[in-house]
């Protein structure tokens, strides 16, 4: 596993059995235009001869159509879903950054619904992976809970089109417009959708639920990761948080983390994590540095429980209720030796009014 870091770019390259996996995090350089940012993305993909399987952009929605047009000029057909969320930069940049997963040396299949790409499928030696993105309900006029049900119905249809089912989900990302006004109804609608489909009996997926508008104006946009083991050598397990209670104890149907362990690699998805104590109570209202310290301690506890550290993190998204609080996170990272984190900092409401900070991370380490 090789990690490369340069201004505005973090790469993790993993040579696996028969192919290469590449995790990208791109952030704008000082005074870099969105057009130049996309050109830098294209050059990086060409350099590594990589095919995109997941693409997440945080930035002003006004930049979405010009950004997609630039991608079409650079790549020709954009036959993968681009999840573009209005996660505004905690700076003056029009785009906060983007995360990508790409592969080289293995066949990639595009799955579409209604003529639009909704996901990409690829195999490693141990599993068939289906990475989905930009899935939204069609009826903007419906109630928000009804839109949630419709979005998950679309997610299920996408999974079925790719030969999978809801119980194959291991990770979801849920971006809700105006999350603070309807987080409880969202949780109820998600659980009601999961229950008859046996999702929670096999594995409660890891998840992030934060605010985020999309260009279609729907109440919710979903992304996901599903997989099917190929030969019995892959172990999938949910991971508890040593310093927090289960999210199910306060009505949220997600795991604190999910680990995928194959003979060559262990991958950990850590759900969106905030300043919440073991009983489920929010801690340190009004004190962003104290919230950051507790949150990062909780995430570190999850990583440590799986024999990992922050040095193993390959992707991170830090959400701030107030953009002016982002320097506090940079200060914490500098003081704790984690300034290397491949993180994008964006403005977003968290699921509770008093929460000022949330972070999600992916981590990988090669199996011993």
The pLDDT of residue 176: 98
Q: Are 171 and 206 in contact (CB under 8 A)?
A: yes
Q: Does this chain's domain 1-105 share its CATH topology with 270-368?
A: yes
Which pLDDT does position 351 carry in this prediction?
93
Is the torsion defined by CA of 181, 183, 184, 186 positive or negative?
positive
* Third-level CATH fold of 1-105: 60s Ribosomal Protein L30; Chain: A; (3.30.1330)
Contact 139, 147 (CB under 8 A): yes
Cβ distance 243 to 308 under 8 Å?
Answer: no
- What DSSP string describes 104-137? ESS-EEEEEETTEEEEEEEE-SSEEEEEEEEE--
- Would you state the pLDDT for residue 368? 66
DSSP string, 140-177: TTS-HHHHHHHHHHHHHHHHHHTT--GGGEEEEEEEET
DSSP of 40-60, one letter per residue?
HHHHHHHHHT-EEEEEEEEE-
Residue 275 makes CB contacts below 8 A (sequence gap 6+) with: 282, 283, 284, 290, 291, 292, 294, 295, 355, 356, 357
With beta carbons less than 8 A apart as the criterion, state whether 288 and 296 touch: no
Instruction: Break the chain down into helix, strand, coil percent, rounded to 5.
Output: 30, 40, 30
In the chain, domain spans: 1-105, 108-233, 270-368
What is d(CA 183, CA 273) in angstroms, rounded to the nearest whole number?
Answer: 16
- Give the pLDDT confidence of 26-67 residue by residue, as tens digits: 999 999 999 999 999 999 999 999 999 999 999 999 999 999
pLDDT score at 232: 86
Contact 138, 130 (CB under 8 A): no
Q: Which residues of the chain have pLDDT under 50?
A: none
The alpha carbon dihedral of 160, 165, 166, 171 has a sign of negative
- pLDDT attached to residue 246: 81
Contact 137, 193 (CB under 8 A): no
**Residues paired with 273 in a beta bridge:** 359
Name the CATH code of domain 270-368 (choices 3.40.640.10, 3.20.20.140, 3.30.1330.40, 3.40.309.10): 3.30.1330.40
| pLDDT score at 87 | 87
The pLDDT value recorded for residue 295 is 98
CATH topology for 108-233 is: 60s Ribosomal Protein L30; Chain: A; (3.30.1330)
- Strand 206-211 and strand 169-176: the pairing is parallel
Q: Residue 82's pLDDT is what? A: 97
CA distances, 263 to each of 2, 37, 126, 206, 365 (Å): 18, 37, 8, 22, 11
- Decide: residue 342, CB within 10 A, 0-12 exposed, 13-18 middle, 19+ buried: buried
d(CA 99, CA 85): 12
């Amino acid at each position: 596993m090789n990690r490369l870091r340069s201004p505005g770019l973090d790469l993790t390259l993993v040579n696996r059995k028969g192919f290469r996996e590449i995790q990208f995090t791109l952030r704008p350089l000082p005074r870099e235009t969105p057009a130049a940012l996309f050109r830098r993305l294209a050059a990086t993909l060409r350099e590594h001869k990589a095919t995109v399987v997941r693409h997440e952009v945080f930035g002003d929605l006004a930049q979405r159509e010009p950004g997609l047009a630039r991608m079409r000029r650079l790549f020709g057909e954009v036959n993968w879903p681009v999840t573009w969320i209005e996660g505004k930069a905690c700076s003056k940049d029009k785009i906060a950054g983007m995360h990508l997963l790409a592969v080289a040396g293995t066949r990639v299949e595009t799955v579409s619904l209604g003529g639009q790409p909704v996901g990409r499928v690829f195999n490693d030696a141990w599993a068939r992976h289906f990475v989905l993105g930009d899935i939204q309900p069609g009826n903007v006029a419906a109630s928000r809970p009804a839109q949630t049900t419709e979005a998950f119905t679309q997610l299920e249809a996408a999974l079925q089109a790719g030969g999978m089912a809801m119980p194959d989900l291991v990770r979801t990302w849920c971006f809700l417009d105006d999350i603070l006004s309807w987080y409880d109804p969202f949780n109820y609608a998600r659980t009601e959708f999961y229950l008859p489909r046996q999702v929670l009996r096999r594995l409660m997926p890891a998840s992030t639920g934060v605010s985020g508008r999309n260009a279609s104006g729907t109440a919710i946009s979903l992304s996901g990761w599903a997989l099917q083991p190929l030969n019995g050598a892959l172990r999938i397990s949910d991971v508890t948080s040593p310093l927090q209670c289960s999210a199910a104890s306060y009505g949220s149907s997600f795991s604190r983390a999910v680990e995928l362990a194959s003979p060559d690699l262990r991958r950990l998805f850590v759900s969106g994590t905030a300043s919440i104590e073991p009983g489920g109570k929010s801690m340190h209202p009004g004190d962003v540095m104290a919230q950051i310290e507790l949150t990062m301690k909780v995430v570190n506890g999850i990583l440590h429980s799986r024999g990992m550290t922050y040095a193993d993190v390959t992707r991170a998204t830090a959400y701030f209720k107030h953009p002016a609080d982002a320097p506090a996170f940079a200060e914490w990272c500098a003081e704790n030796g984690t300034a290397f984190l491949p993180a994008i900092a964006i403005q977003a409401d968290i699921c509770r009014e008093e929460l000022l900070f949330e972070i999600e991370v992916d981590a990988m380490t090669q199996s011993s």
